Amino acid sequence: MKQLVRVRKLNPDGTAQVLHIRQSACSGDCHKCSGCGAAQETLLFTAENPIGAKPGDLVNVSSDSGPVLAGAAVLYMLPVVLFFAGYLLGHLAWGMGALVGCLAFVLGIVVAVAYDRNVAKKQKTVYTIIEFAAQM
């Protein structure tokens, strides 16, 4: 994944502290919809700085999207797959497909949350400054 950020400060270990302002999903034309309840979120994180960016520079950072996609697959697909498997098994074995399907769905959510917490503890996302951004 690639994001546009601004370098805030340099760290002694060769990394840089960067600032990313996450915009809301709306277009930002608040006057068209009579106000906007969506707040901007400011994220401050550390990125490797192999290109020697300086404070104030606008740069692009990159991170590995594999863990994010794997987490999304577990989070969204596992409960749905377990629901259908539970429904089919429950319907064929006991005639209670909906109940078993719902229980399997809840089990899928529990497993997905446990997986997410486990991955969050073990794996930290590594960001790398890959290029200077084109000034507009």
Q: In the chain, how many domains are there?
A: 2
Per the structure, the complete domain to which residue 96 belongs is given by 66-122
Q: Tell me the pLDDT of the chain averaged across its residues.
A: 86
Per-residue pLDDT tens over the stretch 91-128:
999 999 999 999 999 999 999 999 888 877 776 778 89
pLDDT tens sequence across 16-25: 999 998 776 6
- The DSSP annotation for 73-117 comes to HHHHHHHHHHHHHHHHHHHHHTS-HHHHHHHHHHHHHHHHHHHHH
Q: What is the pLDDT of residues 4-15, one digit of tens each?
A: 999 999 999 999
Amino acid sitting at position 71: G
Does the pTM surpass 0.85? The reply is: no
Tokens found for residue 129:
């400054």
- Return the pLDDT at 69: 83
Q: Are residues 59 and 9 in the same domain?
A: yes
Same domain, 14 and 59: yes
3-state DSSP helix/strand/coil % of the chain, to nearest 5: 45, 25, 30
